[in-house]
Chains A and B, each alone.
Chain A
Amino acid sequence: MDQDIIRQIQARRSFLGRSMTGMGSLALGMLLNGKLNAQAGPELADNFFTGIPPKCKRVIHLCMAGGPSHLETLDYKAKLAELDGQPMPKSITAGQQIAQLQGQRNSLKILGPQHAFSKCGKSGQSISDILPHTQSIADEICIVRSLHTDQINHDPAHTLMNTGTSIPGRPSMGSWLLYGLGSETQNLPGYVVLTSAGGGQAQPIASRQWHSGFLPSKFQGVELRSKGEPVLYVKNPAGVDRPRQKDVLSAIEQLNQIRMANDFDPEIKTKISQYELAFRMQTSVPELADISDEPQHILDLYGTQGADGSFAANCLLARRLAERGVRFIQLYHRGWDHHGGIKDGIKFTANLVDQASAALVKDLKQRGMLDDTLVIWGGEFGRTPMAQGNGRDHHIKGFSCWMAGGGIQPGMSYGGTDDFGYAAVDKPFHVHDLHATMLHQFGIDHTKLTYRYRGRDFRLTDVAGNVVHDILA
């Protein structure tokens, strides 16, 4: 595995070292997923590799949009149960950011955990009973309980989680990975996004979350849609079947070749390859999205009937994408914003994602893919220990996520919040640290993977981020 990545990188670096007009000699997969072309702008920074052999080839990010309550999922607090209904100590909340509870700053009350937790697996990790399937993979996952972020509203918090800053216009982590490493697939985009909803009000999700920002747009995420065409414009026009489409494409190629023979232009070469790839995608994308070849026991494992746009179906598609060499796969479930009615609401949402999330880990493992696939499960922030009616408000000072595979140590818990589940006090783990650690697993030094834009060398971790070696296997 390591050899593959290194070979790929060598190919890419030797390309960059050559004249900028040498596009034609590149492997087609490189073109699809974005090597810099003549207009791409400044070159990649000097060597950004750590020299440590990469542990990881791809990421599957299960993004729980809306902000799942850590207090009902991964971070049990006995003290909250004890103080349910009591006023929240002012010493904790004074001077801190508050979102929708702004008007009630002086009457904040504690809401006890709404669900019981159990110690699970040999590792004995504490996981909520509303996540029974996640409980069953307790020994495969590393639970981080000391995450914290800077942004208290959904839109900027997602933007921070994806791009390392809340300022719009910066590349998302998937784009950074493609920019640095390229992709392994020749027939599919290297960065694919799938979304699902259900349970609670659906959070709006901006396409900026998977945008390439100031990086060339070939690095952007491509949404794989559950309704209509799986990828935009991948279907032939009405009245045009595949042979007819092929005729048109063949004519286009011949016309472009004629032009190039008379008037040398490296861009035409690129264009010809792109059309070939487009035509291949017209087959490979529907083939990918059609899960009728999956056996019943796999469908049962995920708890899905077919490609219906549910989170379960998307988890299965995520595995298929991973198998086909897609570098970064991101699944959004938009139903976690439980301002009110959290007891039933979060149980409902958890039920929509629990089985499939765990199934994905199990399925990757049984295929030997978990070792080099990093699975990340979590939201853009957590929720307050304070009640908002019978729900919880947005919370950024401490929340949780879990990770599996990709060289992350299984069956461990890392860091922790205070007794109120309010602030990360034990080994705080910032979003930047998550990014730094993720890149590290790909053999990348997060301080060196940069892109010059408006006079500054930008990076995913902005000016922060530490690799958290304690959670590495």
Chain B
Amino acid sequence: MHFRYRHQILVAFLVILLFGLTSAAFAQNKIDFNSQVRPILANNCYACHGPDDGQRVTDLRLDQQTSAFADLGGYVAVAPGLPDESELIERIFSDDPDSVMPPSDHLKQLTAQQKQILKDWIAQGAPWSGHWSFEKLKSRTPPETHSAAWSKNAIDHFVLAKLESEGLAPSLPAERRTLIRRLSSDLNGLPANRDLLAMAERDDWPQAYEEAVDRLLASDAFGERMATYWLDLVRYADSVGYHGDQPISVSPFRDYVINAFNHNMPFDRFTTEQLAGDLLESPSRDQLIASGYNRLGMMSAEGGVQPEEYLAKYASDRVRTTASVWLGITLGCAECHDHKFDPLSTREFYEFQAFFADIKERGLYDGAHQSKKWGPTLEVPDDNLAELLAPLDQRLAELTRKIVETPQVQEERRVWETGLKQADYQWQEVNPNTMIATNQVEITRASDQSILIAGANPNTNAYAITAELPPGTRALRLQALPHASLPKGGPGRAGNGNFVVTEFIILSGDQTSHMEIFKTPFAKWPDELKGTAVSTQAASTTFEQEYGGASHPDKKWSAASTIDRDARGKTWGWAILPETGQANELVLQIAPDQTLPASVTLVIQQFHGNGSHTLGHFQLSTSVDNDATASPLKRLPAEIRAIVTLDPSVRDAAQKQILADYFLTRAPSLKTYRDQISALNAQRQQLIDQHTRTSLITVSVPAREIRVLPRGDWMDRSGDVVSANVPAALGRPTWQSAPNRLDLAGWIVSPQNPLTARVFVNRIWKLLFGAGLAPVLDDFGAQGQAPSHPALLDWLAWDFQESGWDIKHLIKTIVISQAYQQSSSHRQDLTETDPENRWLARQARFRIDAEFIRDHALATSGLMVNKVGGRSVKPYQPSGLYQHLNFPKRSYQADRGDNQYRRGLYTHWQRQYLHPAMKIFDAPAREECTAARPRSSTPLAALVLLNDPSYVEAARALAERIMKQETADSPRFQALFVSALGRSITESEQDVLTSLLKNHEAYYSTHLEEAKKLLSVGNHPRDESLEPAKHAAWTSVCRAVINMHEFVTRY
């Protein structure tokens, strides 16, 4: 086949002749205030004559008509129709350095052209209109055009009218296959498959085209494609972003977004659920997940962070993001000073912030790098979890029925109760000789030999105590005791009263040398002491904390980790939350045939290292009893302990029942069943864990006080307290009561708010035309750019609202238009007249987004695993990329199996170290809202497509697929081009690739080892029946095709 492009361009010229220069008659010199005048005033004058109250030195405001036209004491800045009477003209044309405006030392100076525009504008009567984006939406009637036949729908009338007025002709429709490929890329982010391409051959083309549109809109891939863009806006990521950039789980939110687009959820509902899903009446699970929007910002667990400061950071980020996502305004600029260009004050910034003041959150997520607790979450089970659990639950029910009180159990209980009372070990207090702490603190010894710590409160410590012990000592007890001087009554010195004993060491021998060693701060287990440490056999305790113990090797803050010589890790140990303000004890038993020496050094290490988890009050005692353990009575739950200490005769019926029920959990004769139950429960939990994801959600609490922070300074408490409201310039509704997030959402999508619909349709337009009608997607303010087709933008926005915020309707309307279907071919005539293609005389061509580049390679090669949603996945990544991350240190484990071949949007989004293949193709880190990604072309991008194992693997899989599909070279080349590019190969292209194929086949047939190496890149198993040299040579061919400009370009 041959290219048709040249032919098309010729026809385009003919079309231009037909439309002709008649349109020159439409050209006018009338100055448009919004697109021509306001930008000049905003950029050059507003800094001193604009909305910022703090910067204005005179009363003259050029952002307000009344002020600009007002009498300033015998003269006016702008006298409509009378440029010579206008002070503004006088001043900007002045030669006098003292009087010229802008002042001669001002950074911004007017060009001669700009001055002329201002003069002409005033001469034409200085027509003034409100800022385009803040004006109410009007339903617009599409304009009349000369060539009505060209138009397919209203959009085309607007576009064509503009083209005619500019004297331009539209381009011919794109070639059908190109169009199908464009549609597939735009609506699904995927290359067109064979079925779609076949539609290009149908005789009823217009109908076939519409069917293709419907099919693509109905595909699950549509939601994935749209989510890719939405996630940039709401800055969805899989890590917290600040400092240690720890992982967070919020992938259910991503899936919510995909599903919302796939189910064509109306945009107003989509908006409300994200901003305020938690405030809806009886919110569904999905609505709670959606409310996670408010929690997607960056968070910090950096020690030393001042919570207030970070709460202020999070709050400001939320204002910036929400204002960008829905309103397209730069409200964030007003954080420290009134907005310089738009009517947005600092007070309004904080009023907007106040909508979010009820969100439950912390400034510092202290310890979250270990506890993984990043505020409120929801557990989200997979859809098939119940089904998976059913058989286990049935078996569990059967076993549970066997746990009943038999006569044997009753007898066992009697024996147990008797034993409890006998186990009353004798303890004798240790009288310490000396005590030191490696980090300096104040140590006080009480008369009962208990030790109280005060003074400096270091993060870690080790206490070393020397003492003489009674002969025959076989057990050592550490009682952690409450004390009024300690936080929450102790026994620990952490803010919550907790402590962590990480290691308890008994040393015998020369005490002095031990003490020297332990004077070194952060002393670890000194190797030279191993010989003198007394080996401890068991540690028992009255209570072991489970809270925050999920990553502890024992899943709880166990006694065992105090005598393991740090085998479980230096920072793990014994802790007691929530049992603060009460006593607990740890007992170490030594080997049965040993006793402790008379003279010992007891070392209590507390190296948890976070939040001063050290002991504040404790006592040591010894026992000669061979079996001494932590008090068995104290080890019972408080309620049971209370009952067993009662004489059986005075227990009431309820107490008896409670005790009997409790004993079922420990009766020896029921152990087999209990073991089976706990094994099943473990299995069950494992299944639940595997099939449940947590997701950050919003929980509403009484609102924090929000103040205006002067110059954004969080430490300055002098600003006014403000309540929630929207910026006045955007039209404040009359609130029925103090507005909350739900009201904010309602206002955002109310027909009275002109911004939301305009902003959204403009962004959809950008996805389908490569640029927005208003080119600056995230600034609809004075510093943005007015739309090229204001009436079209309004019509689209109005139609979108009228349709019930129907996103698929909006997209279909656009892609059905003739304007969308135009060829994107270069047109020489436009390079001078419209190089940026603002008048839409052709379609755009652009490199596809990072995720879709990956998707195209996976889909073309057949490797792609089509599954919607789930945990984020980890494609191959160069090793060592996370080496600069800490708290904790991490390494990246690429996924194996299906998860290696998922679409790009599921890639694990590590904010600080985004996957390089994503980042190099301009995917944002998502630290902030991104409305438009840049599109760069760099050698690093070339290296990704050439050498990243994902793309090499895709090439060899594609080669395999093509080789199996066809047997001869020529049909193979055809098949390859149809798969990869949606078109036939040309003769000259085939010549190039044939030469590559032959060369590499010759090389690899004498270098079989090299061929095998190439064919082993990636996990995908190779079809061993293919000759390695041939397969390797075809892999080279496929690498070349995947690297073609055309492969990653949407035409």
Contact = CB atoms under 8 A, between A and B. Distances in A.
B735 interface: no
A58 B342 CA distance: 39
A239 B1043 contact: no
B45 to A, nearest CB: 14
Contacts of B1010: 239-241
Interface in A325-383: 332, 334, 339-341
Nearest to B341: A455
B927 A239 contact: no
Most chain B CB within 10 A, of A41, A189, A252, A452, is at: A252
Contact of A393 (B304, B784, B989, B995): B304
B935 A39 contact: yes
Nearest to A447: B107
Interface stretch (A5-13, A73-81, A217-225, A412-420): A217-225
A237 B945 CA distance: 11
Interface string A225-251: 101110111111111110011011101
Contact of B825 (A263, A278, A389): A263
Interface stretch (B28-36, B584-592, B877-885): B877-885
Given A168-B241, A247-B999, A454-B330, A153 B305 contact: yes
Interface residues of B, number: 117
Contacts of B935: 39
Which of A282, A389, A390 has the most CB atoms of chain B within a 10 A radius of its CB?
A389
B483 interface: no
B1043 A252 contact: yes
Contact of B940 (A222, A271, A454): A222
Contact of B1044 (A20, A34, A255, A267): A255
B300 A153 contact: yes
Interface in A177-224: 189, 195, 201-208, 211, 214-218, 222
A103 interface: yes
Given A100-B303, A204-B243, A227-B880, A235 B947 contact: yes
A97 interface: yes
A234 B1009 CA distance: 22
Interface string B337-368: 00011100000000000000000000000000
B521 A340 contact: yes
Given A202-B886, A248-B1036, A275-B942, A168 B304 contact: no
Nearest to B823: A263
Contacts of A98: 306
A454 B826 contact: no
A447 B47 CA distance: 15
Nearest to B931: A454
B1012 interface: yes
Contacts of A254: 992
A152 B306 CA distance: 9
A262 B1044 contact: no
B941 interface: yes
B304 A21 contact: no
A29 to B, nearest CB: 11
A8 to B, nearest CB: 19
A146 to B, nearest CB: 22
B1015 to A, nearest CB: 7
A251 B996 contact: yes
A317 to B, nearest CB: 17
B108 to A, nearest CB: 9
B776 interface: yes
B457 A103 contact: yes
Interface string B836-848: 1000000001110
Given A107-B456, A238-B1013, A390-B521, A211 B925 contact: yes
B778 A454 contact: yes
B845 A265 contact: yes
B298 interface: yes
Interface string B779-793: 101111000000000
Interface stretch (B252-260, B566-574, B810-818, B913-921): B913-921
A40 interface: yes
Nearest to B243: A155
What is the interface residue range for chain A against chain B? 35 or more
Given A99-B306, A103-B457, A274-B937, A154 B1015 contact: no
Contacts of B776: 454-455
Nearest to A339: B459
B887 interface: yes
Nearest to A229: B878
A244 B1037 CA distance: 11
A233 B241 contact: no
A270 interface: yes
Interface in B627-643: none
Contact of A262 (B5, B831, B996): B5
A237 B1017 contact: yes
A389 to B, nearest CB: 5
Given A100-B303, A251-B1040, A265-B826, A238 B884 contact: no
B247 to A, nearest CB: 13
B248 interface: no
Contact of B304 (A100, A202, A234): A100
A204 B942 contact: no
A204 B885 CA distance: 5
A238 B1039 CA distance: 13
Contacts of B920: 217, 232
Interface in B732-787: 776, 778-779, 781-784
Contact of B878 (A153, A211, A233, A245): A233
Contacts of A262: 3, 5-6
Contacts of B885: 204
Nearest to B991: A254
Contacts of B999: 247
A350 to B, nearest CB: 19
Contacts of A251: 992-993, 995-996, 1036-1037, 1040
Nearest to B298: A168
B936 interface: yes
Contact of A153 (B304, B846, B1017, B1040): B304
A256 interface: yes
A472 interface: no
B342 to A, nearest CB: 8
B3, B324, B826, B943: which has the most chain A beta carbons within 10 Å? B943
Contact of B925 (A208, A238, A277): A208
B912 A206 contact: yes
Given A152-B304, A252-B1040, A278 B5 contact: no
Contacts of A207: 884, 912-914, 919, 925
Nearest to A241: B1010
B996 A247 contact: yes
Given A241-B1010, A262-B6, A340-B522, A454 B1043 contact: no
26 contacts: A20-B836, A95-B715, A97-B309, A99-B305, A100-B304, A103-B612, A153-B300, A206-B245, A208-B912, A217-B936, A232-B878, A233-B946, A239-B1013, A239-B1017, A241-B1010, A247-B1000, A248-B1036, A251-B993, A256-B1044, A263-B5, A268-B1045, A274-B941, A334-B884, A447-B107, A455-B781, A455-B782
Interface of B: 3, 5-6, 107, 241-245, 298, 300, 302-306, 309, 324, 330, 332-333, 340-342, 439-440, 455-459, 495, 521-522, 612, 715, 776, 778-779, 781-784, 825-826, 831, 835-836, 845-847, 878-881, 883-887, 911-914, 916, 919-920, 922, 925, 927-928, 934-944, 946-949, 952, 986, 988-989, 992-993, 995-996, 999-1000, 1003, 1009-1017, 1032, 1036-1037, 1039-1041, 1043-1046, 1049
Given A258-B988, A263-B826, 16 more contacts: A102-B306, A153-B304, A155-B300, A168-B928, A202-B884, A204-B244, A207-B919, A214-B934, A225-B880, A233-B948, A239-B1009, A239-B1014, A239-B1017, A262-B3, A275-B939, A334-B884
Those 8 A-B pairs whose CB atoms lie nearest each other, nearest first: A239-B1014, A455-B783, A239-B1013, A99-B304, A278-B942, A206-B912, A168-B927, A278-B939
